[in-house]
Amino acid sequence: MLILNCPYCGREKDETELAAGGEAHLKRFGPGSSDQDFEGYLFDRANPKGLHFERWRCAAGCGKWFHAARCTATLEVFGTYKAQTLEPPKTIRDAITAKRPGWSWRNFS
């Protein structure tokens, strides 16, 4: 069972109270963008075995969207953080580095 701490209401929420929102930190490409960028925005998703950054919603809870950094293979959670950011905060990156030195994901490391 995956348990994530919601950074808005502060409660430990189990998987059945959460709604999965897929990959985090997507950049939107809308009208005027190239076909390749638009296709990537719509369909190109990382599906790693290991470290991943995801969006989750505190569905049976405060209702807010937040971000989580976790390992898809072990379900180890490195941390959760608020969605009002374009990249994982330093505390989250440091927590991952402590457990997985030399990690990288998309453009982050």
Site residues for another protein per CB under 8 A: 8-12, 14, 16-17, 60-64
Whether 53 and 24 have beta carbons less than 8 Å apart is answered as yes
Binding residues for Zn ion restricted to 10-29, rule: CB under 5 A: none
Tell me, what amino acid is at 58? C
Whole-number minimum distance, CB 13 to Zn ion, in Å?
A: 6
Burial environment of residue 67 by CB neighbours within 10 A (0 to 12, 13 to 18, 19 or more): buried
Whole-number minimum distance, CB 68 to Zn ion, in Å?
A: 12
Candidates 3-11, 30-38, 80-88, 100-108: pick the segment binding Zn ion (CB under 5 A).
Answer: 3-11
**Of another protein, Zn ion, none, which one sits near residue 17, judging by CB under 5 to 8 A according to partner kind?**
another protein
| 26 DSSP 8-state letter | P
CA angle, 98 as apex, 93 and 102 as ends, to 5°? 75
Distance CA 9, CA 47 (A): 29
Candidates 2-10, 43-51, 80-88, 91-99: pick the segment binding Zn ion (CB under 5 A).
Answer: 2-10
Q: Could you list the residues that contact Zn ion (CB under 5 A)?
A: 6, 8-9, 58, 61-62
